[in-house]
């Protein structure tokens, strides 16, 4: 009787997290156009840390953060500072839809890293899933990435590489969290990670701070990024890691493109090609297999 409410809670949190993180690509694009990549990422984690730290202290969990600050700060660099800067940079030259589809490769990298680091050896179906998923990435990059500057002076190839680099960071951080922060309250992990990311990005944000004035819309975007898409979202995310493990928690990346593409089409008038959607399906199928969410049937073996 208790399993059904728990399952319903996990599904609701999953959908809420996907919707909020889908919106993060919209907000990053709006913010990065005026703030630039490093200032956008730095403000995002700074706002998140300022929002979370009082909550942590009110709950009396400051001692847990002091005890585990080193691994929590490290997770912040791997899971927030580097990926946020990479995606903010990428969104200066590619669409929110494309960047969110590339974000869906995070579980693929997570599965590979868990295999190498945690000795979580994939089964036959998971290995096939890795091959399918990375094939989808290759097809998407082949069609979307170019290292020749376009009319605006940007090259989409670097943006694609930045997105994939961010996903490697997510994969490393998931295994790191499982190994060194298991059992720690999600609020402690979320707060510590944003403090660590903020300290890491502060010098870069200060150095690359825009010389021009920034519009209220851009400020609103980065504040929304910090509070909703980072502070509250990471509390949910780290709680999911505690409850269902890093591999399944990373599967939220499947649903993020649905929301991000919807926001981009409706609010930014972005175009979505059939090739992008086809590659997204290939990536999601591969990721579903590689994380063990979907497995080949063994009925034939049992006969």
By residue range, what is the domain housing residue 39? 3-292
Domain presence at residue 33: yes
What total of structural domains would you count in the chain?
A: 1
Q: What is the pLDDT of residue 5?
A: 45
Model confidence over 271-296: pLDDT tens digits? 888 888 898 888 888 877 876 666 76
Residue tagged 């847990």 (tokens): 64
Average pLDDT over residues 94-104: 88
Average pLDDT over residues 188-212: 96
**pTM: predicted TM-score of the whole model, two decimal places:** 0.85
Model confidence over 108-117: pLDDT tens digits? 888 888 888 8
Of the two residues 176 and 127, the one the predictor is more confident about is 176
Domain presence at residue 58: yes
Whole-number Å distance between alpha carbons of 59 and 194: 17
Domain presence at residue 170: yes
Average pLDDT over residues 91-103: 89
Pair of tokens at residue 176 = 């790191």
Which ranges in the chain belong to alpha helices (H)? 3-35, 37-58, 62-67, 69-76, 82-90, 96-103, 106-117, 124-144, 156-180, 186-207, 216-226, 233-244, 246-249, 252-268, 274-290, 299-302
Whole-number Å distance between alpha carbons of 169 and 132: 21
Contact 279, 139 (CB under 8 A): yes
Of the two residues 175 and 253, the one the predictor is more confident about is 175
Q: Nearest to residue 22, comparing CAs of 187, 275, 252, 223?
A: 252
Q: What is the pLDDT of residue 12?
A: 81
> Does the structure show a pLDDT above 50 at 122?
yes
Of the two residues 136 and 51, the one the predictor is more confident about is 51
Domain presence at residue 303: no
Distance of CA 134 to the CA centre of its chain: 18
Q: Nearest to residue 72, comparing CAs of 252, 246, 247, 238?
A: 238
Domain presence at residue 300: no
Whole-number Å distance between alpha carbons of 57 and 64: 10
Domain presence at residue 301: no
Percent of the chain with pLDDT over 70: 87
């Amino acid at each position: 009787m208790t399993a059904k409410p728990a399952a319903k809670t996990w599904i609701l949190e999953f959908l809420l997290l996907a919707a909020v993180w889908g919106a993060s690509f919209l907000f990053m694009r709006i913010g990065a156009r005026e703030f630039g990549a490093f200032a956008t990422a730095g403000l995002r984690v700074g706002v998140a840390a300022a929002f979370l730290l009082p909550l942590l202290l009110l709950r009396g969990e400051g001692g847990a953060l002091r005890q585990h600050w080193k691994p929590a700060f490290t997770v912040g660099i791997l899971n927030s500072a580097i990926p946020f800067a990479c995606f903010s940079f990428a969104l200066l030259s590619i669409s929110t839809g494309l960047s969110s589809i590339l974000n869906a490769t995070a579980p693929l990298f997570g599965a590979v890293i868990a295999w190498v680091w945690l000795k979580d050896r994939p089964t036959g179906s998971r290995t096939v899933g890795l091959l399918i998923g990375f094939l989808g990435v290759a097809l998407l990059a082949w069609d979307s990435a170019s290292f020749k500057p376009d009319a605006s002076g940007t090259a989409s190839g670097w943006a694609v590489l930045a997105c994939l680099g961010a996903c490697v960071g997510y994969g490393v951080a998931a295994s790191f969290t499982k190994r060194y922060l298991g059992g720690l309250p999600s609020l402690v992990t979320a707060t510590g990670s944003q403090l660590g990311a903020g300290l890491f990005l502060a010098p870069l944000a200060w150095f690359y701070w825009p010389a021009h004035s920034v519009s209220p819309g851009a400020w609103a975007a980065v504040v929304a990024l910090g509070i909703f898409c980072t502070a509250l979202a990471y509390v949910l995310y780290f709680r999911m890691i505690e409850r269902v493990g890093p591999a399944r928690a990373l599967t939220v990346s499947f649903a993020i493109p649905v929301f991000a593409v919807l926001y981009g089409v409706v609010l930014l008038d972005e175009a979505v090609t059939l090739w992008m959607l086809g590659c997204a399906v290939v990536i999601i199928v591969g990721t579903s297999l590689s994380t063990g969410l979907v497995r080949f049937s063994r009925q034939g073996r049992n006969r």
